[in-house]
Amino acid sequence: MIVLAAVRRIAVSVVLALLIGLISFSVMYFSPGNPAAMLLHYRNPTGGLNQQTVEAYAERLGTNQSFFAQFGDWLTGALKGDLGQSFKTGLPVLQEFTDRMWCTFGLMLYATVLALTVGVALGALSARYHNRLLDQIVRHLVVVNMSVPSFCLGLLFMWVFAIELKLFPSFGYDGAWSLILPGTVLGIGYSGTIVRMTKSSMMDNLGSPYVVTARAKGLTEGAILTRHVLKNVSLPIITLSGMNAVSLLGGSVIIENIFGLPGLGNYLITAIKMKDFPVIIGFVFLMGLMVIAINLLIDMLYALIDPRVRLAANEN
Amino acid sequence: MARGVEPVLDLVDLNVHFESRDGKVNAVCHANLTIGKGQVLGLIGETGCGKSVLGQSVLRLLPASARMSGRILFQGTDILALPQSEVRKIRGQLIAFICQNPAEALNPVLRNGTQIMESVKINRKLPRRERRDACLDLLRSLRFTDPEFCMRSYPLQLSGGMKQRVLAAMGMSGRPSLLIADEPTKGLDALVRGHVIATLERFMEATSSSALVITHDLRFASRICDSIAVMYAGEIVERGPFDEVFGHPRHPYLQALIDSQPDRGLHVLKGSTCSLIDLPPHCRFYDRCPKAVQGCREAHPETVFVNSDHEVRCLRIA
Amino acid sequence: MRTNRNRLIAVSVVFLALLVPVVFSSCIFPHGNDLDMNDVLRAPSSRHWFGTDNLGRDLLERSFNGLRLSLGLALSIQVICICLGAVVGSVAGYYGGVVDRVYVLVQNVVMSFPSLIASLCLIAMLGTGIRTLVLALVVVEWVTYARLIRSEVITLKESDYIQGCRAIGASNARILSRHILPNVVGPVIPIFTLMIGHTVLAISGLGFLGFGVQPPTAEIGLMINDGVTYLTRAFWMVFCPAAVLVLYAVVMNVFGDELREWFNPQRENVVL
């Protein structure tokens, strides 16, 4: 039944999460440099590296154990919610994550809503006025949109709206208003693919036999759009939004960096530059969990709308 | 057909062309058709001859790139001259249309019941509670053994024949005077052909409608049609009562079509249809015609009457 | 068809013309790294079309130098990805079984994780520099080709003429290399062009964050990053190199789209 399919899906997700944890852990494990020495350096930047102290630290951190022992330690900790402490601040990694995740979530949510609104609207209009002036203009705009990297657009918007026009803050986080400009940049960047997908999906659906049947029944064009076409058109857009949401996590890194927002991406960059390993491993793992959660959500939404997926799952 | 009685459908010099990137596609040229009350007209032709376009044009179901001219007289009213809102009133209510390829003609993400109820809601003014019963009755009349299951399930859970019957049920919900069935046997096994015939007969019995049946299946046509019209490259090349036309086929294309049937020896007609964009000025069948003469290349044939109601478009007959 | 071909030719000509100053930029623009402390932060003028940066370097010359580097790197990365993707994708698609399932798992893991973050972590682990940059981008992008080639191989291997090859006793390796892979080239070419543009943008993104090409080498993302500090005083430091980057990305995307249209034309919905 559906329950069985869901359970199987969750099991697969757990395996994936473990895999991501393993990969990120091994990446850090095999990277050059001695974590114990680094931690010591953090605590006492000016002092020298006493070999005994380094070994004592290594003992405490457990970094002189084998790979699997260390991974085991980390994993048991992770399952309990303890992802270690940041080298730099000493605070629990999990706390650093939760402190910052709302900022990033807010940014991602706003960007997604904006991208969908703009993308679906322009895509639907392009389908309606196919090959006319509006469609040509939108098509060219989309090509330009997909060629402008997010940091260029971000800097342009920052310069025009924040610095020259002084409408928005250009740096730092001061409540939701600070998210508007960066969120808009991010959202616009991702709307290009949505425009294209919406247009092609609408044109495919509007030309299909079930629409002819619906018209032959005597339905108005409006009723056909809302009651018949909408659900079918939204299916590929939902899948695309899922993929976009995952990309957005990466895209937010650059935007947070430019606008100085205290989000996950910005902190990760700092951690990478400072070689703050517990943070890097922990953040990558947690972001992996986020990605898995997003994918699960998208799949559930898709199955809700499309009975073919639900019933095929039954048969399996 | 009794003269003096207004025909249900009368196509007068119907032309349909499409604007496409490669040029003007002439799908239907100078088509003239008449269907009387209670009659079944079969529109025969190979893939791409324009018969589906003609069928869809009656209810103006073609895409926006289509341009139509001529007259489509339904019970005396010219459908082409009506505003969109009036055409919508005719659709489903007075003329029923069953799409080809039942597998794709139903919306895959909506339940069958929702889609049937939609038809019933538009075509019958019934309070909500009675609508569901009306749907179940319709399904029962089409020999559904478990109409409840059909209502709450999705199209993918039904077989091809069942989907066909669901489409028929939607068409029957009004009281149509005309049924247009586009390739009703396409995508269905030959075994199911009998069921399709039964479905169509039940439909016409229940609604006392006439029918325009579009098909390439001659055997199917022979069992159900009173009169036939044969299309080739967008033109109607032969027309008349079924027995007369089939008994004495005059156009070489129809003769070749009949000869190509399995029970007549499967004599294949070589070549393929001419392009609908670059139409030849002479007879469109000339390149493939086994009986062509020099004169056939010089002029475009018009229709001539062989009998009182048997027409042919062929220069050799003129 | 005719309009398609004319458009493709026109776009190709423009593309090749624009490539000339980039490819030959070491000859045409040799002064990209020349410092001139008397000439810092000058606005665009007839002497310096794009102005100068905080170390007096001509931005026009630097932009093209940087673009040349990025383009060269992007090309190498794509070539490596195609080779890797072709081998893995065709083997997984053709032989199926366990190999295929393992590949699909790897593909899902790679594709489901944000690519920028994955590249960053790899660079974090291995240190900055051109070699790690190339590796980081290859690891993230090879899956695009593997996925495409695998699905093409799966479709092709069931086709009649391949069955025919098997019937006359051709070995699997021969079938793969001689018969299947040449047919995969068609869909790959437009993707290749589009991916080059995508990779150039990725390189500049990493450069902007400080994880890509390192100073003093000219690279557009790096230049833009330097320019941010001077955004209020000398905005041309940011926007002139950015304009060059966007222009070339647009041209590459348009070229890639035209190629894709040429190889798989999208037919209009005409009812017949």
**pLDDT digit string, tens, across residues B49-58:** 889 999 999 9
Q: In this predicted structure, what is the pLDDT of residue A35? A: 66
Do B276 and C270 count as a contact with CB atoms less than 8 A apart? no
DSSP B164: H
C269·B63 Cβ contact <8 A: yes
B-chain residues near C271 (CB < 8 A): 18, 52-53, 56, 62-63, 66
Q: Quote the tokens at residue B295.
A: 């004169």
Which residues does chain B have within 8 Å of residue C269's beta carbon, measured at their own beta carbons?
A: 63
- Rounded average pLDDT over B9-38: 89
pLDDT reading at B5 higher than 50: yes
- Identify whether the C-beta of residue B312 lies closer than 8 Å to the C-beta of residue B250: yes
B18·C271 Cβ contact <8 A: yes
**Residue A188 binned pLDDT confidence (cut-offs 50, 70, 90):** very high
Shortest Cα distance, chain C CAs vs residue A147, angstroms: 5
The helix (H) or strand (E) run that includes residue C5 is helix C2-23
Q: Using omega within 30 degrees of 0 as the cis cutoff, is the peptide bond preceding B147 cis?
A: no
Tokens of B197: 């015939």
Q: How far apart are CA C63 and CA C223, in angstroms?
A: 8
Neighbours of chain B (3+ CB pairs under 8 A): A, C
Chain B to chain C Cβ contacts (< 8 Å): 26
Domain range annotation of chain C: 2-28+59-263
Tell me the three-class secondary structure of C63-105, residue by residue. Answer: HHHHHHHHHHHHHHHHHHHHHHHHHHHHHHHHHCHHHHHHHHH
Report the alpha-carbon distance of residue A71 to residue A75 in Å, rounded: 6
- Higher-scoring residue by pLDDT: A131, A187: A187
**CA nearest to A23, candidates B149, C125, C61:** C125
Q: Name the closest residue on chain B to residue A303, using Cα atoms.
A: B109
Contact across the interface for A250 and C109, Cβ inside 8 Å: no
pLDDT tens track for B104-144: 899 999 999 999 999 999 888 888 888 899 899 888 888 88
Encode pLDDT of A219-237 as tens digits. Answer: 998 899 889 999 999 999 9
What are the residue ranges spanned by the domains of chain A? Answer: 96-275
Total-model pTM: 0.84
> What are the pLDDT digits (tens) for B242-264?
999 988 888 888 888 888 888 87
CATH architecture, range A96-275: Orthogonal Bundle (1.10)
Domain locations along chain B: 7-94+176-313
pLDDT at position B110: 93
pLDDT tens-digit series, residues B265-274: 778 877 777 8
C-chain residues near B183 (CB < 8 A): none
Question: Shortest Cα distance from C206 to chain A (angstroms)?
Answer: 9
B169-226 residue pLDDT tens: 898 888 899 999 998 888 777 777 788 888 888 888 888 889 999 998 888 888 889 9
CB of A315 within 8 Å of a chain B CB? The answer is: no
| Cα nearest neighbour of B119 on chain A | A217
Mean pLDDT of A101-119: 93
Those of residues 235-274 in A touching chain C at CB distance below 8 A are 246-247, 249-251, 253-254, 257-258, 265, 268-269, 272-273
Please tell me the distance from the alpha carbon of residue B163 to that of residue A228, in angstroms, as a whole number.
17
Q: Which of A65, A68, A11, A61 is nearest to A38 (CA)?
A: A61
Q: How many CA atoms, within 13 angstroms, populate the side-chain half-sphere of residue A188?
A: 20
* pLDDT recorded at residue A114: 96
ipTM over 0.85: yes
Q: Which residues contact A175 (CB under 8 A, 6 or more apart)?
A: none
Neighbours of A209 (CB within 10 A): 17
- Interface partners of chain A (CB pairs < 8 Å, 3 or more) are B, C
Whole-number pLDDT of residue C2: 62
Which chain B residues contact residue A305 at CB under 8 A?
109
Q: Report whether pLDDT(B92) > 60.
A: yes
| pLDDT over 70 at B292, yes or no | yes
CATH classification for the domain delimited by B7-94+176-313, as one of 3.40.30.10, 3.40.630.30, 3.40.50.300, 1.25.10.10 = 3.40.50.300
Phi, psi for residue B240 in degrees, rounded to 5: 160, -175
- What integer is the mean pLDDT of A73-97? 78
Assess contact for A152 and C224: CB atoms under 8 A: yes
Q: Which pLDDT band holds residue A240 (cuts at 50, 70, 90)?
A: very high
C chain contacts of residue A151, beta-carbon cutoff 8 Å: 204-205, 208, 221, 224
So what's the pLDDT on residue A49?
66
B24 shares contact with chain C (CB less than 8 Å): no
DSSP-derived 3-state class of residue B42: strand
The whole-chain average pLDDT of chain A stands at 84
pLDDT value at A316 more than 70: no
Provide the CATH topology of domain C2-28+59-263. MetI-like fold (1.10.3720)
A176-190, A272-286, B5-19, range with the lowest pLDDT: A272-286
User: Residue with structure tokens 């090749």?
Assistant: C16
Closest CA to C86 of C202, C182, C200: C182
Whole-number pLDDT of residue B69: 93
Mean pLDDT (chain C) is 85
Q: What is the C-alpha radius of gyration for chain C, rounded to an integer number of angstroms?
A: 22
pLDDT in tens, C44-91: 888 788 888 888 888 888 889 899 999 999 999 999 999 999 999 988
Q: Tens digits of per-residue pLDDT, C167-184?
A: 887 777 777 777 777 888
Closest chain C CA to residue B234: C272
Scanning the structure block, which residue is given the tokens 């606005």? C43
Average pLDDT over residues A273-285: 82
Predicted confidence at residue A146, as pLDDT, reads 92
Find, in chain A, the residue whose alpha carbon is nearest to that of C208. A151
Of A30, A146, A291, the CB nearest to C112: A291
pLDDT, tens digit (0-9, with 9 covering 90-100), for C232-256:
888 888 999 999 999 999 999 999 8
Pairwise pLDDT comparison (C267 vs B297), residue with the higher score: B297
